[in-house]
């Protein structure tokens, strides 16, 4: 399948079948307390932060590497990432015997860099100056691919990556069915849109009337702006606690997937994100990084209409250093008090 095409629901199901023995079936947690806070009928959280490597990214990385021929596997791959895809791809490469080179912005979280190195990937740091850090990292990864003969992988703008990430949505739907629930509102974090695109395609096929929302940090809401414009639009950028959701604009494949799925966009400020991290820890005993909590933040802050509805929230990752997590919880406590 050309990587600019959209994955079908059948392709996502094929990916899930192939990945069942390689990825963890992450828990789906129901919280009556958080449902009452949000005004929802029932609220479920898909805990992808408990996936191997700490985020959903392993799903797309493994499935993408499984599509390479033997020659490409032997030469190796290169990709840019601020951390979560880096860890997922490094783990996938180690498992499948594929050499992995990661280009990571020099100001990405140190904990994510150390974790990626520990998984055996070669690390190359990129310096971006005044340019968006993903733009500089992407350019360096293209140069390395050309110089070394590596296969260049995109962390989200690739139909097979989208298909792999969409397996989280298929899993969640099956788990909800076991709990006697049908999703009426689905909210997922959005960076470049790989997870949202895959989950959106999977959900829209099974539940045509569900409302599907992509949650992004304020100033980095390129997907929401693009969905409203009907074409790719860059977000203005700016400071955000959501370090993993700073793609300057969505990919071609991911925007097309989200448009096909009827996704709507919502932007969330730092305050609600930090509060959602605290509430997830208090009520669900989950450690979420800010980027992993942005969808729950959108629901708890009343930014997505959920009154009386059955809600599925994707909590996408938990890769955060202890001191930073403690700092976020302290900020949430100060804001509450």
Residues annotated as catalytic are 57, 82, 216, 219, 221, 316
DSSP, res 280: I
Measured in degrees and rounded to the nearest 5, phi and psi for residue 213 equal -120, 140
- Please give the C-alpha separations between residue 201 and each of 9, 16, 17, 48, 198, in angstroms, as whole numbers: 6, 14, 17, 18, 5
Question: In whole angstroms, what separates CA 103 from the centre of its chain?
Answer: 18
Answer yes or no: are the C-beta atoms of 262 and 206 closer than 8 Å.
no
42-47 and 28-30 beta bridge pairing: antiparallel
Answer yes or no: are the C-beta atoms of 134 and 246 closer than 8 Å.
yes
Which residue, among 174, 153, 157, 176, has the nearest Cα to 165 in the 3D structure? 157
The residues with which 29 forms a beta bridge, in sequence order, are 45
The total number of residues written for the chain in this structure: 337
* Tokens matching residue 106: 């020099």
* Tokens matching residue 74: 């032997």
Which residue, among 114, 151, 109, 108, has the nearest Cα to 127 in the 3D structure? 108
């Amino acid at each position: 399948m050309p990587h600019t095409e959209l994955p079908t629901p059948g392709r996502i199901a094929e990916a899930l079948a192939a990945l069942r023995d390689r990825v963890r079936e992450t828990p789906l947690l129901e919280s009556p307390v958080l449902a009452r806070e949000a005004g929802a009928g029932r609220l479920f959280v898909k805990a992808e932060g408990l996936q191997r490597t700490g985020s959903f990214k392993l799903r797309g990385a493994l499935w993408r590497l499984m599509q390479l021929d033997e020659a490409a596997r032997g030469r190796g791959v290169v990709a840019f990432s601020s951390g979560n895809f880096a860890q997922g791809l490094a783990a996938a490469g180690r498992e499948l015997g594929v050499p992995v080179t990661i280009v990571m912005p020099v100001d990405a979280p140190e904990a994510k860099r150390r974790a990626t190195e520990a998984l055996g990937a070669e690390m190359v740091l990129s310096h971006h100056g005044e340019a968006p850090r993903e733009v500089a990292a992407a350019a360096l990864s293209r140069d390395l691919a050309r110089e070394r003969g590596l296969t260049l992988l995109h962390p989200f703008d690739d139909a097979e990556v989208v298909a792999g990430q969409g397996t989280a949505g298929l899993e969640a739907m099956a788990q909800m069915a076991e709990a006697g629930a049908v999703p009426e509102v689905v909210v997922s974090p959005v960076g470049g849109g790989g997870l949202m695109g895959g989950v959106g395609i999977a959900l829209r096929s099974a539940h045509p009337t569900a409302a599907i929302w992509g949650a992004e940090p304020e100033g980095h809401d390129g997907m929401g702006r693009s969905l409203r414009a009907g074409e790719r639009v860059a977000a203005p950028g700016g400071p955000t606690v959501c370090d993993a959701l700073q793609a300057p604009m969505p990919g071609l494949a991911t925007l097309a997937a989200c448009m096909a799925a009827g996704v709507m966009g919502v932007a969330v400020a730092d305050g609600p994100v930090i509060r959602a991290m605290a509430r997830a820890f208090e009520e669900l005993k989950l450690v979420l990084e800010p980027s992993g909590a942005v969808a729950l933040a959108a629901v708890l802050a009343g930014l997505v209409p959920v009154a009386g509805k059955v809600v599925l929230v994707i909590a996408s990752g938990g890769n955060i250093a202890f001191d930073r997590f403690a700092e976020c919880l302290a900020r949430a406590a100060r804001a509450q008090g």
